[in-house]
Amino acid sequence: MMKEQGGQEMLEDTGERIIPEKMNIMSSMLVEHLARYHFASLFTEGRILDFACGSGYGTHIIAKRCKEKVSEVVGVDMEKEALNYAEYTYYHPKSTFKLADVTDANIPNQLGKFDYIISFETLEHIQDEEQFLDNIYEMLQPGGTLILSTPFGKGRAKPCKNPFHVHQLKEEEFRELFVNYSSVSYYYQEHALIIPAESAKGRHFPLGIVICQK
């Protein structure tokens, strides 16, 4: 729900929504989310899609940090209130925000092609993950890159403690999703730390990140 306070639109926290302006700087959830976008900014260039952008802070990070190498950053979300907040709070001349469902089969026709697609902490919320991933693949330019993250858990169709998640995939299930890409690199994350999977040395990490080139 959107409220107005002193002429500024205020977005209410719904439980998992990241609203940096309303969060403690020591929040682990905030640190993790910011770290992922700053990590992605090391790679992104050209036309960028932030798929399920929420309140828009990540779209803004990419637009600001990569302003010399990106042509456009498009943030997409299905919550109008979040997009209103994003447009008000995170204006940048290279970013736009669009209302759409990430599992809509028509979305590739609506949005066109992208050089990079970012989607962080979205997969675990999606019932129709096949359509979601098909949309991403269709919207990537040949040679385009996907950067995606998700928390690990007990596996597909297994209940998890987080009421906002459909399920949380096992690591092996996560890796099976990207076999159609020409190159795939996996990373692990814990708090602000993001490392290549091959550097984990048997240590368990709660979150996975993948970088896939079409």
Q: What angle do CA 137, 149, 44 make, to 5 degrees?
A: 65
Residue 15 in this model has a pLDDT that exceeds 80: no
CA separation for the pair 144, 59 (Å, rounded): 18
CA atoms within 13 A on the CB side of 47: 11
Tell me the per-residue pLDDT of 177-208, one tens digit each, with 9 for 90 and over. Answer: 999 999 999 999 999 999 999 999 889 999 99
Domains of the chain are: 20-213 (3.40.50.150)
Longest dimension (CA), the chain: 52
Look-up: residue for tokens 């962080």? 120
Residues 63/91, Cβ–Cβ less than 8 Å:
no
pTM: 0.92
Q: Are 174 and 150 in contact (CB under 8 A)?
A: yes
Whether 149 has a pLDDT exceeding 90, the answer reads yes
**Rounded Cα distance, 161 and 93, in Å:** 40
Cβ(9)–Cβ(22) below 8 Å = no
Q: To 10 degrees, what angle do helices 57-65 and 80-89 make?
A: 40
pLDDT digit string, tens, across residues 60-116? 999 999 999 999 999 999 999 999 999 999 999 999 999 999 999 999 999 999 999
